[in-house]
Structure 1
Amino acid sequence: MEALYDLPNGDRVRVIDTPTVGQSLGRVLELFRSGNTEPVFFGDQPRPEGVVISFEQWAEYEDLKEEAETDRRMQAITRERLANARPEDYVPYDDMLREWGLDEPEGGGDKR
């Protein structure tokens, strides 16, 4: 059995019943090996409950998940620092540029 399911973003996916996917895993692996790495959505209702993806896709998603978690941690740290910063802790922009060595004009220091 197969059904179409509309995703919230407007895309449509084919959902295959679980017993059929179970019997077809060998064929899915062959497709992955041949370069066709389209995800296979399955479930016992006409909506996806699981998905089979290639190992490469899974590894890529894990990397993206790690990056997103790092970004969330950095955002939380930045928000905390901003919330706890006192005005006397602020450094003027020009001072910061000088501290980082970024105050020289482009072209190597031609100061007129």
Structure 2
Amino acid sequence: MAEIKHEHEACKKTILAVHDAMDVLGGKWKISIVASLGFGKKRYSEILKDVTGISGKMLSRELKDMEANLLVNRYVIDTKPVTVEYELTPYGHKLKSVIKNLADWGNLHRKTIMGK
């Protein structure tokens, strides 16, 4: 009986942790933005090109939220016109393995479902 209770508690803790992660990374765009920045520092316009379908307004909102959650650093470079670059923080880089595993599963799923 103690083993079942321990498993139940472990399950609850796992689900809570997943909920916490999804609160930060949930939605349609954040995972794609992290994936884009996983390839290095990028300008706003480069991220906008990478993440097909996102609007400029939504990208701005998501980047601000990700900056508040310590996933992304924003750098303003004093050029004319001003250049703004984004990159993953060391904390944000911890998501790269999650993104790789998710991409690997997505490729497997595509092959499984579509045979491609």
Give the structure-1-normalised TM-score. 0.31
The structure where helix makes up a greater share of residues is 2
Which structure carries more relative contact order (alpha carbon 8 Å, separation 6+)? 2
Which one has the largest radius of gyration?
1
